């Protein structure tokens, strides 16, 4: 992972774009791992159909990654000459094996690490100069100068070892970027968006693959006067942020599917008491413990429908690693404005992958909560207003006091079991979400044509690239990448699909959760179709392009 991160950093310094996807075995605590990189001249956030280079420090348990690392027929396998031949599965497609004495090279330079030799080899084969590779290593170094010099020698030795290897497509020298690019993971982007949106309190329990959100937020919050508290579990986390938000501080927690399930009752309390909170769910393979380190979009049904009672909430999903910043920032604004919980559906692919991106623009979303003034006359916390939003009293505001709990209530907040009060509050909570103007951010709508692809989350860039390839074959199609999943906006989707005769819904889960949700909430044109499959394998642009072509001809 260190070598992969440094290679991505060097690519950014060389003026390239790129993506690095982490993959590891089920044990999380170590063992086999691979850094999957794609470098490009234009911004990309999806893996390609195959790899040109597989560099293995050893072959232990690499068979577990056979499906995740499809090799091109023209590809190269580079491995240690003392480790024997690579597994046959990687040679079956025609890739060529080039042995190199990686461990001997590292042992010949006292104090060096073999992964720095690997960095030199892979960087050189990609066409990156020794200078930018060295710059990336120096910038990351936090140890003594002696060890740095040893590993710089190892890096240069790797570059030299790669000099005689032919048959690898290399990038030529490119122009330096006009503006400094960002090297960002989706989890870091979510943390940054939360801070920029106004979050100043975070309580959470570490869980794969969401922990990096908390690791990034801990020092960042301290810089802006905020606080992060590691709670004892997910139940405590949700209750802590409800309490902090009730006290007037925009608050957030981050978790994965198992944690979101534990937070259900607390999120329901936030709905009933109309307390704004943000929950970032970095989805992973399920059910139960499932596949913690692999991606899957299988929490969607739970996020939009998984609370007891009629409990309207906001559910948004970033469409890319870069979009994790703006979408999380938007979620904070929505939660605060609507006085409701907002769930951000990220996933492991976006959350733990790193991408070279252009600096994302600040959309200007800022937490804006409607609060009651001191000594407000005839104050009723849950007044049935036309907008559905009623002023929220911050504890300690002179002349105002109210009770916030999970019981149904009348407008004054007094517990009530009367049908009239229940219906009034149900409609109030629903109305404020349905009447809100979500602007252009509800979805990204691109392209033209009488067929449309609807998707969400990390599949978006795969769909975008697939449609780009099809456009070169004169196949026109529209892309609708949903960012707002709940509440449903039938009129906006109908407008986006005007003129469309057929729809294909694309998602990464086993039971077509988005397809079934859309069918229940919208009148989709024609006979809607679904392409869905679960994780852990990411979708590839070529795979999806073939699916679209076949579906189009049916």
The confidence band for 497, taking pLDDT boundaries of 50, 70 and 90, is very high
Please say if the pLDDT value at position 27 is more than 90.
Answer: no
Percent of the chain surpassing pLDDT 90: 91
pLDDT tops 80 at residue 439 = yes
**Which stretch of 22-26, 27-31, 280-284 has the lowest confidence by average pLDDT?**
27-31
pLDDT at 520 over 80: yes
What is the structure's pLDDT at 456?
Answer: 98
Averaged pLDDT for residues 507-533: 97
User: pLDDT at residue 161 above 90?
Assistant: yes
Per-residue pLDDT reduced to its tens digit, 367-390: 899 999 999 999 999 999 999 999
pLDDT digits (tens, 9 = 90+) for 87-102: 999 999 999 999 999 9
Please report, for residues 46, 453, 465, 466, the alpha-carbon distance to residue 479 in angstroms, rounded to integers and kept in the order given. Answer: 16, 5, 11, 10
Q: What is the CA radius of gyration of the chain?
A: 26
- The yes-or-no verdict on residue 279 having pLDDT over 90 is yes
Round to whole Å and give the CA distance between 413 and 404.
7
Q: How confident is the model at residue 177 (pLDDT cuts 50, 70, 90)?
A: confident
Ramachandran category for residue 27: left, alpha or beta (phi over 0 → left; psi -120 to 50 → alpha): alpha
Nearest-CA neighbor of 251 among 204, 186, 283? 204
- State the Cα–Cα distance between residues 418 and 414, nearest whole angstrom: 11
For residue 28, pLDDT over 90 is answered with no
Give the distance from CA 481 to its chain's centroid: 14
Average pLDDT over residues 170-178: 74
SS3 473: coil
DSSP state of 288: T
Tell me the per-residue pLDDT of 138-155, one tens digit each, with 9 for 90 and over.
Answer: 999 987 788 999 999 999
Mean pLDDT computed over every residue of the chain: 95
For the record, the structure tokens of 136 come out as: 């990336």
The answer on pLDDT for 47 being more than 70 is yes
> Residues 115-126: pLDDT tens digits?
999 999 999 999
What average pLDDT does this structure show over 540-553?
A: 96
Whether the upstream peptide bond of residue 471 has omega within 30° of 0, thus cis, is: no
Confidence category of residue 37, pLDDT binned at 50, 70, 90: very high
pLDDT value for 172: 75
Residue 27 vs residue 286, higher pLDDT = 286
Beta-strand relationship, 96-100 and 341-347: unpaired
pLDDT for 83 beyond 80: yes
Average confidence (pLDDT) over 258-275: 98
Q: What pLDDT is stored for residue 178 in this prediction?
A: 76
The dihedral built from the CA positions of residue 145, 150, 152 and 153, taken in this order, carries a sign that is positive
Query: pLDDT band at 64, cuts 50/70/90?
Result: confident
SS3 call for 38: strand
pLDDT at 130: 96
pTM of the model: 0.96
Of the candidates 179, 172, 184, 444, the one whose C-alpha atom is nearest the C-alpha of residue 317 is 444
- Rounded to whole angstroms, the Cα distance separating 190 from 166 reads 41
| pLDDT at residue 190 tops 90 | yes
The pLDDT value given to residue 201: 98
pLDDT surpassing 70 at residue 173: no
What pLDDT is attached to residue 451?
A: 97
Q: Is the pLDDT of residue 29 over 70?
A: no
């Amino acid at each position: 992972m260190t070598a992969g991160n440094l290679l991505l950093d060097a690519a950014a310094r060389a003026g390239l774009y790129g993506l690095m996807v982490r993959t590891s075995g089920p044990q999380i605590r170590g063992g086999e791992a691979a850094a999957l990189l794609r470098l490009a001249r234009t911004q990309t956030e999806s893996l390609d159909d195959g790899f040109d280079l597989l560099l293995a420090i050893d072959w232990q348990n690499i068979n577990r990654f056979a499906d995740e690392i499809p090799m091109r027929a023209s590809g190269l396998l580079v491995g240690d000459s003392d480790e024997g031949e690579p597994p046959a599965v990687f040679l079956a497609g025609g890739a060529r094996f080039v042995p190199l004495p990686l461990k001997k090279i590292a042992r010949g330079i006292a104090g060096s690490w073999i992964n720095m030799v690997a960095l030199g080899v892979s960087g050189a084969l990609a066409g990156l100069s020794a200078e930018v590779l060295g710059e990336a290593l120096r910038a990351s170094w936090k140890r003594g100068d002696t060890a740095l010099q040893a590993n710089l020698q190892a890096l240069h030795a790797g570059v030299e070892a790669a000099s005689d290897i032919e048959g690898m497509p290399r990038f030529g020298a490119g122009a330096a970027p006009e503006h400094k690019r960002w090297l960002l993971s989706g989890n870091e982007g979510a943390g940054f968006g939360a801070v920029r949106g106004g979050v100043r309190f975070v309580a959470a329990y570490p869980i794969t693959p969401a922990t990096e959100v908390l690791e990034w937020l801990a020092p960042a919050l301290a810089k802006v006067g905020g606080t992060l508290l590691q709670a004892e579990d997910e139940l405590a986390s949700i209750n802590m942020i409800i309490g902090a938000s009730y006290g007037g501080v925009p608050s957030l927690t981050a978790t994965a599917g198992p944690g979101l399930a534990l937070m259900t009752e607390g999120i329901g309390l936030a709905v009933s008491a109309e307390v704004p909170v943000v929950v970032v769910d970095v989805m992973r393979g399920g059910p139960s413990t499932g596949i913690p380190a692999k991606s899957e979009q299988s929490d969607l049904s739970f996020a939009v429908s998984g609370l007891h009672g009629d409990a309207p909430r906001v559910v948004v999903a970033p469409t890319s690693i870069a979009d994790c910043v703006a979408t999380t920032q938007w979620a904070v604004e929505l939660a605060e404005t609507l006085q409701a919980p907002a769930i951000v559906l990220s996933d492991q692919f976006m959350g733990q992958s790193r991408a070279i991106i252009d600096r994302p623009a600040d959309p200007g979303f800022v937490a804006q909560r409607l609060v009651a003034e001191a000594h407000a006359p005839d104050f009723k916390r849950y007044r049935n207003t036309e907008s559905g939003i009623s002023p929220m009293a911050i504890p300690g505001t002179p002349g105002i006091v109210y009770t916030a709990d999970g019981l149904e209530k009348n407008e004054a907040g007094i517990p009530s079991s009367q049908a009239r009060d229940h219906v009034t509050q149900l409609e109030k909570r629903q109305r404020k979400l349905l009447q809100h103007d979500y602007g252009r951010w509800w979805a990204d709508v691109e392209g033209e044509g009488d067929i449309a692809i609807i998707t969400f989350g990390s599949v978006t860039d795969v769909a975008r690239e697939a449609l780009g390839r099809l456009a070169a074959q004169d196949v026109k199609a529209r892309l609708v990448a949903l960012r707002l999943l709940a509440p449903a906006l039938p009129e906006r989707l109908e407008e986006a699909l005007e003129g469309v005769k057929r729809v294909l819904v694309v998602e990464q889960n086993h039971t077509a959760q988005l397809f079934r949700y859309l069918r229940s909430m919208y009148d989709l044109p024609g006979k809607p179709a679904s392409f869905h499959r679960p994780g852990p394998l990411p979708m590839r642009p070529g795979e999806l392009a073939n699916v679209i072509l076949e579906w189009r001809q049916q």
